[in-house]
């Protein structure tokens, strides 16, 4: 494994920090501050791509290195579900998503300001929600976890465990698809350990059915 350049993570997400640490790369956190208001008639895929690109190019740091930026959105039909404004809004979102599938879109951008090299990919994952009860929703919302999550849920929450029969990239729904990042980063001189997929699966207690396809070049979430 070799990581000859510094990584600057343009995100303050604790989930992204936890996932990125699995690579063994040295990285610092420098969140990018951009306007995240959707443009008029902007489609979800266009929106998430624009935000990831904007975060990567807006992030500045005195140490030279490669900037890693990502943005994740929850999409129901063509509706983008952001972070709930309060507990009532969180309950509304969870009831809307209950017992049906929606999509999570994660766009990842890598940018080296020193060379101008930039790369971006987007991963779209189908997420089937289980038929949780109103009482389970209330207990989950009361605990406060949904309030800083797009769509008002965390796939990795073991108490609420909102998702069932999932067969996509778990880390992508969390906000940083590691196998995809590994593939992209190689062209920037960033090489991660061969067992990175196993590290991710161990962290999330999840047997990923698609990581070998991703390593072979498939653009799937």
CB-CB neighbours of 141 under 10 Å: 22
Whether 89 is a known active-site residue: answer: no
- Mind listing the pLDDT tens digit for each residue in 45-66? 999 999 999 999 998 776 788 9
Strands 79-81 and 101-112, bridge-based pairing? unpaired
- Mind listing the pLDDT tens digit for each residue in 148-195? 999 999 999 999 999 999 999 999 999 999 999 999 999 898 988 999
- Domain limits, the chain: 6-215
Please say if the pLDDT value at position 3 is more than 80: no
How many Å apart are CA 8 and CA 102, to the nearest integer?
31
How many Å apart are CA 212 and CA 203, to the nearest integer?
18
CA distances (Å), origin 203, targets 61, 111, 200: 30, 27, 5
Strands 6-9 and 27-29, bridge-based pairing? parallel
Angle, vertex CA 42, rays to CA 127 and CA 88, nearest 5: 55
Q: What's the pLDDT at 167?
A: 94
Please say if the pLDDT value at position 68 is more than 90: yes
Percent of the chain clearing pLDDT 90 (strictly above):
80
Q: What's the pLDDT at 1?
A: 40
Q: What's the pLDDT at 217?
A: 79
Please say if the pLDDT value at position 134 is more than 90: yes
Active-site residue (options: 33, 35, 71, 89)? 71
Class at the top of the CATH hierarchy for domain 6-215: alpha beta
- Mind listing the pLDDT tens digit for each residue in 4-34? 468 999 998 999 999 999 999 999 999 988 9
Q: What is the mean pLDDT of the chain?
A: 92
């Amino acid at each position: 494994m070799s990581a000859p350049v510094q990584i600057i993570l343009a995100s303050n997400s604790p989930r992204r920090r936890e996932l990125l640490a699995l690579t063994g790369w040295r990285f610092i956190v420098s969140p990018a501050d951009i306007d995240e208001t959707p443009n008029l008639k902007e489609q979800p895929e266009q929106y998430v791509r624009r935000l990831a690109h904007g975060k990567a190019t807006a992030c500045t740091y005195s140490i030279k290195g490669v900037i890693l930026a990502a943005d994740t959105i929850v999409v129901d039909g063509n509706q983008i579900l952001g972070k709930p404004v309060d507990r009532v809004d969180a309950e509304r979102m969870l009831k809307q998503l209950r017992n049906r599938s929606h999509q999570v879109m994660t766009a990842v951008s890598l940018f080296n300001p020193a060379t101008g090299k930039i790369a971006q990919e987007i991963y779209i994952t189908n997420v089937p929600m289980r038929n949780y009860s109103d009482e389970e929703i209330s207990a989950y919302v009361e605990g406060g976890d949904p309030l800083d999550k797009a769509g008002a849920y965390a796939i990795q929450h073991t108490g609420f465990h909102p998702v069932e029969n999932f067969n996509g990239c778990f880390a992508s729904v969390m906000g940083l698809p590691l196998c995809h990042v590994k593939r992209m980063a190689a062209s920037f001189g960033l090489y991660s350990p061969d067992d990175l997929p196993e590290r991710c699966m161990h962290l999330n207690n999840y047997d990923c059915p698609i990581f070998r396809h991703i390593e072979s070049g498939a653009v799937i979430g």
